Amino acid sequence: MSEANVYDQAPGNVLQNMYLKHRLRKWAAKGMRFIEMGSGNGHISSILLELGLTGIGFDLSEKACENNSRRNEPHVSRQQYEVRNANFLDYDGDKVDIIISSHVIEHLSEEDVDRFLDKSASVLKHGGRVVSLVPASAKYWGIEDVTSGHYRRYEYGDFQSFSQKFHFENSHIAGLCYPLSNVLFGLSNSLVRKHDSWKTGLSMQERTTLSSSGVKNIKYKTVFPGYFRYLVNETTMYPFHLLQMMSAKNTKCMVIYSELTKN
């Protein structure tokens, strides 16, 4: 499929983005600055930029950074957004209002998660927030976790532990994508097993790099024919968005959304 005929938003991505927008509209204000760690193709950064925020996207994949720069070119050209092919943990710059990551910290060792949260606490302004989206529930550990270089899946209580250890307020937490992701779980694992199982022989770092949204291409899993944009979008997914809102405390949710606020 040519780039013009590819759609890269799976149903779960659309639902997560819808919830992120729902939350940001409640508290994010125009003029805030953000950092996205693991910005991939730039979908999450686009959401914040469209709300009038400015920021920086960090990603270790050169290909992902190229895709991000193209997607957000108008904001890059107006110097509202910068894409850096670098590690956020090495950042040494101005304080920001939001540090956001979507499906990133599960790729970090426990030691590096601590480094990330410690760094975030030092970089955030007072009242700033660490916003995280992560895969949830150890009982759903599967082949995709292995091939993507995940160290773990998270539980609700993990974020309470983070808030206590790093002196954040655990200001909001919700489970997402229930029940749609649960229904599609078997199919998703089958697609990954068929196309990506060869990655199990690679190192954790190699698996993490190859799982970047800029380079991971599994048809009907991470990339879809262009016409899918008419089948899978915020309008068609709205009933499932209502379901995920109603199920936000369900322990069967396969994604957790968290906001930790700096006191």
Can you read off the two tokens belonging to residue 65?
């950074």
DSSP 3-state of 210: helix
Average pLDDT, the chain: 94
Contacts of 16 (CB under 8 A, 6+ apart): 102, 133, 176, 177, 255, 257
What would the mean pLDDT of 65-70 be, rounded to a whole number?
94
Instruction: List, for residues 160-209, the tens digit of each pLDDT value.
Output: 999 999 999 999 999 999 999 999 999 999 999 999 999 999 999 888 87
Report pLDDT for 191: 93
What would the mean pLDDT of 64-82 be, rounded to a whole number?
96
CA distances from 102 to 2, 4, 130, 175 (A): 26, 25, 11, 14
Give me the residue spans of the domains in the chain.
3-262
Q: Which CATH code of 3.10.20.30, 3.20.20.370, 3.30.565.10, 3.40.50.150 fits the domain covering 3-262? A: 3.40.50.150
Evaluate if residue 4 carries a pLDDT over 60. Answer: no
Report pLDDT for 207: 87
Report pLDDT for 2: 45
Evaluate if residue 214 carries a pLDDT over 60. Answer: no
Instruction: List, for residues 227-248, the tens digit of each pLDDT value.
Output: 999 999 999 999 999 999 999 9
Instruction: List, for residues 132-153, the tens digit of each pLDDT value.
Output: 999 999 999 999 999 999 999 9
d(CA 95, CA 139): 38
Evaluate if residue 222 carries a pLDDT over 90. Answer: no
